[in-house]
Amino acid sequence: MNRPFKVLSSVLVALAALTGCIPQLTGLTETLAPAVEATRAAQAEPTPTPWPRADERDAMVDIQIEARGVVDSDVLRAMRTVPRHEFVPMEYQGQAYNDHPLPIGYGQTISQPFVVAWMTEALDLTPGERVLEIGAGSGYQAAVLAEVVDDVYTIEIVGALAERATEDFRRLGYDTINVKHADGYFGWEEYAPFDAIIVTAAPDHVPQPLLNQLADSGRLVIPVGPPGGYQSLWLYTREGDNFTALNLGGVRFVPFTREVRGE
């Protein structure tokens, strides 16, 4: 029982015992209890997200993400917070919280919400860590990362997407995300090592520079497989100079390309 309420009840019990009016006390506790409960609920509630469509995000998390086994509370909070509809083209904004990927132009897609949450959870992040993403695309995954850690770097090979993501981060206040227009195969040496690296396009092999740029105990989550087909999602973990690889399951991502495009 809530402490002030308990104290109040004891005082009332004492008073009731003195005056002999126990029935009246029962009535009183019933009217007081909801008020106390409401105060407690208000105190426990997180700061409300400033973005509209919070109900749709909550439903998305409940039905698509938590129900499928994602439990990391930081990841769930991030998914309830980031305004996914702000990262999709106008004509798809109505579908932003649906259970599937959406086109973002230039032949690319924003991943299904569950896949974003699942991959982020697999990175096993703690707040002070530094994370590199390869394949910024819409910028949505990077924004989710930025809700969990302080330091996010993301590389995009299509110039127009890199530019649009940069503008969106500025517009939405995600000022801890750094964007580079380049081939992510080579990682981002200048800011290495990274505690975690996430790749959101599928190469046919794991780029060696990304393994090299992992910090000790660093994690790399990457889909690997033939372009256009199904791939396996792998979790690589570094311990000193040893790497262990765990197959997390089947996925389908856009191909990892090597040609730096301007448009």
- CA distance linking residue 92 with residue 247, whole number of Å: 32
Q: Which is nearer to ligand SAH, 36 or 207 (CB)?
A: 207
Q: How many binding residues for ligand SAH (CB under 6 A)?
A: 24
Tokens of 121: 């959870």
Q: Which is nearer to ligand SAH, 181 or 238 (CB)?
A: 181
For ligand SAH, the binding residue among 201, 224, 233, 251 (CB under 6 A) is 201
Tokens of 25: 């006390």
Least distance (Å) from ligand SAH to the CB of residue 126?
A: 21
Asked whether position 194 contacts ligand SAH by CB under 6 A, the answer is: no
Tokens 């769930």 -> residue? 76
Asked whether position 161 contacts ligand SAH by CB under 6 A, the answer is: yes
Asked whether position 137 contacts ligand SAH by CB under 6 A, the answer is: yes
- CA distance linking residue 262 with residue 155, whole number of Å: 14
Asked whether position 156 contacts ligand SAH by CB under 6 A, the answer is: yes
Q: Which is nearer to ligand SAH, 81 or 111 (CB)?
A: 111
Judged by CB under 6 A, the stretch of 17-25, 118-126, 151-159, 222-230 that binds ligand SAH is 151-159
Q: Which is nearer to ligand SAH, 36 or 179 (CB)?
A: 179
For ligand SAH, the binding residue among 76, 96, 134, 221 (CB under 6 A) is 134
Q: Which parts of the chain fold into alpha helices (H)?
A: 3-19, 22-44, 54-59, 73-81, 113-122, 140-148, 159-172, 208-212
Least distance (Å) from ligand SAH to the CB of residue 52?
A: 20
Asked whether position 92 contacts ligand SAH by CB under 6 A, the answer is: no
- Smallest CA-to-CA distance from 254 within 152, 147, 134 is with 134
Q: How far is CA 100 from CA 92, 110, 257, in A?
A: 12, 9, 23
- CA distance linking residue 205 with residue 235, whole number of Å: 13
What is the Cβ-side half-sphere exposure of residue 51, based on CA atoms within 13 angstroms?
19
73 is catalytic: no
Positions touching ligand SAH (CB under 6 A) are 108-111, 134-135, 137-138, 140-141, 155-158, 161, 183-185, 200-201, 254, 256-258
